[in-house]
A and B are shown apart, each in its own frame.
Chain A
Amino acid sequence: MYNILFLEDRTDRQLLFLPNGVDDLSLIKTIGNLYMPDPNGCKQIVEEINKQKYIFKSIDRDIKLVIVHRTLLKNSGISFLNQFAKNTQLKLVFFSGGISQVQYNIDGFEQIFLNSTEFYSELLIPFLFNFSSDFSTSILGLFHKNWRLSYMMLYRQLSQNLKVSKVDESDPYTFYYSTKERLKQIESILGVSDEEEIDKLFKKSILTI
């Protein structure tokens, strides 16, 4: 049963970018619940995704994460993945040489767009191993080894804005309430529940970089 679908149609490209080339590729292939088809298999799956016919859950698979070279997919394929991700919390990682700026998004589901050089970094293998054993692992870990800092700074930005917001008890959808909710989410990701503590943690972590 595999849970990670890794779609890359060019082994030579992988070997070029992976920091330890063929050794890294062999290591990735040892991950039991990761499926990285050969170029022909990849072509076939991509075609199914683009035709919106790919089945994410069957006897041999229960896909939790799709990693795909962005240029393989047509708009139809991307919207098919998005639609499925919205309903199932499937996580999406897109990489390509043409992506100039990393883009991470958790609006409805977690997805990240990375440049190929950023994607095939030292962070890839630890991330894949972590994700293969814990599907809640954040894909932000692919982008930055200090991804927890991103959440700390986001927390600080949101809490500062929360303080200058008015409370409207009659409307639960206001900025105030939605931000409070997001702060709680971040606290749970970081395992810290106090702004002062997050401040301290941030100051301490940044000094170690």
Chain B
Amino acid sequence: MMNSLLLYNNNISPDFVQDFKDSIGETKLFSITNQTLAKEDYSFDSVASEFLKTLLDKKYEVIFIPINLSIDNYLEFSGLRIGYHIRLTNEFNNQETPIVFIARESAFEINKLSFFGAILSCPQIYMTDKLEIDVFKKQIEFIQSTSKANVLKGFLDRIHIKPSGNYTTHHSIANEWSIMRWFKTILKSEIIDYTPDEIESIESKINSNLYYKYLTCKFPINNVNGLTVEDLKLKFNGKILYIDDEKDKGWNELFCALFYDDLINKVEDYESFGSEFKELEKDEIINLSVNKAKDFDLVILDFRLTEDDFYESDPKKINGYKILEGIKAHNKGIQVVIFSATNKVWNLQALQDAGADGFIIKESPENSTDAKFTFESITNLIKTIDKCFSLKIKKELVELHKSILKNILVDDIDENPRYNFFLKGLLKQASVIEKSIVLIDFNHPISLDITFLSCYNFLEQFRDYYLIEGRDFRYYLGFEELPLNRITIQKKSPRILSNGEFIKNGRNDNPSWFQVMAGLFIDYFNLSSAPFNEVVDLHNMSTSRNRYIHEDKSSFTIDEIRIIMTLTELATRNLKE
């Protein structure tokens, strides 16, 4: 007896089914009951996939299927759809088995009614309009004589499956597709050797949904560039907060594995947040997210966080944008990386204008046409996070700047116009400092120089305001006219040396920036009972600045930026006339 299969439903004559069984091969009933339809998670694709699982171990010569396997609605062309499942199910041994569709309609007529008709023009697909055992047998004989090369490739080249559903569904497809691709790529590289439950559940969905099956066959995951542990190692460290309403769909597991489980990296802190968003009002989502972000160096932020976001066309009203705006309003130095499936330029532009520090694009199926896309997305994530960690000092600098602003923004305006002018000058220079901090970029060392010199200029205004040249060849500080001392630093085993009051020795003997600032720190502002470190820092910064201006120093270091910002903040603490 021949080894063929007839799939049938209750519209097919049981006598014919019996004749097939007696003389050609196996028969299998496909039916969807009302109980199945009533299930909350019902989907035709799951039923079809489960149905094929019952045939997994078999291998047939030919499979016969009526193009309609629905009892009541021929236009569903569910027989054709089962044919697609057969071709696209890897585990099924019959991916390339010839299929004969039984229909009284022609391929032309079917194609007029459904795009599923495309399968009829693919290799090893045949049709018959006869329900006769002898005709079936002759068809099998003919098929056996034909070549069966490139069946799957020919099929994939000719057909196209459209994703069903609306934008939310599309977003969810992109999300699931992306997480699956990322995890599989990492698994292939043997860096991680387990599959979390969340991924297994997506995998089971992908293994049953026709559109996913099509994508999986069309764009198999290749470890083309050979991802290694080294590609995933972070050079810098910091605290990461991940905000995504769909974090528990696998991304959180993946980020834990990448950043926190010590398999590859162990960052200072990692937290995720967002699964509760469905229960919250828009304002609560934004406020909670911004408050949480305050404790972190880097926020990985999904763009669309609630269902409403999918219906909003103005990017500035979308929750992700609002949170970004809130975080940046609190501290421009907190690094925010947008993690999203959006590829709309106007969305990305709006986010960049609001201060986004990086973008990681979730892989939509349309991106997968590029075999390197997954590899590059993963390595881009690591590079982006490293870049953001390297810039985490910005957060600290912005905090110092905020403190400077608080110190110089005095409520009661002083009656002394010169002092008011001084404060206004400081305020103006403070805004230059703020802008320069945001622009710090290690790839452009001049950005560090700008910040350093902005702070130095800020402090120079102190010298200009507080230093008073007396008629007695002495110098005095501020409204109180405290005598300025001649302070120097002993270079070997640094020590502050005070050589008494500064008395001018000659025309060019003027107090240096360092001497004025040291005098202010020690005597005028009383900033510390033993301001040794601060005074040494002032001296070092002065030397650095002079070397940069007059000698060979090429640029300032981030440590020098931190020191001069700290000194600047300190200088403003006990500000007085």
Task: Please report A residues at the B interface, Cβ cutoff 8 Å.
Answer: 10, 12-13, 16-17, 73-75, 78-79, 82, 97-108, 111, 113, 115-117, 140, 143-144, 146-147, 149-151, 153-154, 156-158, 160-166, 175, 179, 206, 209
B75 touching A149, Cβ below 8 Å:
yes
Closest Cβ neighbor of A174 among chain B residues: B14
Least Cβ–Cβ distance between A166 and chain B, in angstroms = 5
**B76 near A: Cβ within 8 Å?**
yes
In the complex, which residues of chain B have a beta carbon less than 8 angstroms from the beta carbon of A113?
A: 37, 42
In the bound complex, residues from chain B placing their C-beta under 8 Å from that of A143 are: 73, 75
Known: A82-B38, A161-B13, A164-B15. A101 touches B311 (CB 8 A): no
Which chain B residues lie closer than 8 Å to A115 at the CB level?
164-166
B residues within 8 A CB of A117? 164-166
The 10 A-B pairs with the shortest beta carbon distances in the complex, nearest first, are: A104-B73, A101-B44, A153-B74, A161-B13, A165-B13, A150-B75, A97-B169, A100-B164, A97-B165, A154-B74
Q: How far is the CB of B161 from chain A (nearest CB, A)?
A: 10
Q: Which residues of B contact A13 (CB under 8 A)?
A: 311
Contact of A105 among B45, B71, B167 (CB under 8 A): B71
CB < 8 Å A-B pair total: 143
Q: Are B38 and A79 in contact (CB under 8 A)?
A: yes
With A12-B311, A98-B43 already in contact, the answer to whether A103 and B32 are too (CB < 8 A) is yes
Residue of A78, A98, A102, A158 touching B73 (CB-CB under 8 A) = A102
A103 touches B165 (CB 8 A): no
B45 and A108: CB pair below 8 A? no
* Given A165-B15, A209-B112, A157:B74 Cβ within 8 A: yes
Using A104-B73, A165-B13, A206-B113 as known contacts, list a sample of 13 further A-B pairs with CB atoms less than 8 Å apart, ordered by residue number in A: A74-B40, A79-B38, A97-B169, A98-B169, A100-B43, A101-B210, A154-B72, A157-B66, A157-B74, A162-B13, A165-B14, A165-B15, A175-B10
* A189→B15 CA distance, assembly (Å): 28
User: Nearest chain-A residue to B129 (Cβ)?
Assistant: A160
Is B91 located at the chain interface by the 8 A CB criterion?
no
Residues in B lying within 8 Å of A, measured CB to CB: 10-16, 32, 34, 37-40, 42-45, 66, 68, 70-76, 78, 81, 104-105, 109, 112-113, 131-132, 164-169, 209-211, 307-308, 311
- Chain A positions within 8 Å of B109 at CB level: 206
CA distance A78 to B35 in the complex (A): 10
Q: A105-B37, A161-B12, A164-B16 are in contact. Are A100 and B44 (CB under 8 A)?
A: yes
Residues of B within 8 A of A166 (CB): 15
Given the complex of chains A and B, what is the CA–CA distance between A161 and B131 in angstroms? Answer: 8
User: CA–CA, A166 to B13, complex, Å?
Assistant: 9
Name 6 A/B residue pairs within 8 A (Cβ), A-sorted.
Answer: A16-B166, A74-B40, A97-B166, A101-B210, A150-B75, A175-B15
Best-buried of A108, A140, A158, A161 by chain B (most CB within 10 Å): A161
Taking CB atoms, residues of chain B closer than 8 Å to A147 are 75
Task: Note all chain B residues with C-beta closer than 8 A to A209.
Answer: 112-113
- A146 / chain B contacts, CB cutoff of 8 Å: 75, 113
Pairwise interchain contact B113-A161, C-beta atoms closer than 8 A: no
Residues of B within 8 A of A106 (CB): 71-72
Q: Which of B68, B75, B167 contacts A144 (CB 8 A)?
A: B75
Residues of A within 8 A of B105 (CB): 153, 156, 206
* A179: B residues at CB distance < 8 A: 11
Q: For B78, list chain A residues within 8 Å (CB).
A: 101
Cα–Cα distance between A150 and B209 once the two chains are bound (Å):
25
Q: Which of A10, A115, A150 has most chain B Cβ within 10 Å?
A: A150
Interface pair B13/A103, CB less than 8 Å apart? no
Could you tell me if A104 and B70 are in contact, using CB atoms closer than 8 angstroms? yes
Complex interface: chain B residues within 8 A of A161 (CB): 11-13, 16, 131
Beta-carbon nearest neighbor of B48 in chain A:
A101
Which residues on A sit within 8 Å (CB–CB) of B37? 103, 105, 111, 113
Minimum C-beta distance from B561 to chain A (A): 48
In the complex, the chain A residue whose C-beta lies closest to that of B310 is A16
CA separation between A111 and B72, bound complex, in Å? Answer: 10
Most chain A beta carbons < 10 A, residue from B39, B131, B132, B166: B166
In contact, A160 and B104 (Cβ under 8 angstroms) = yes
B40 / chain A contacts, CB cutoff of 8 Å: 73-75, 78
> What is the distance, in angstroms, from B504's C-beta to the closest C-beta of chain A?
77
Q: How far is the CA of A108 from the CA of B98 in the complex (A)?
A: 37
Knowing A97-B166, A158-B11, A161-B11, the reply to whether A107 touches B72 (Cβ < 8 A) is yes
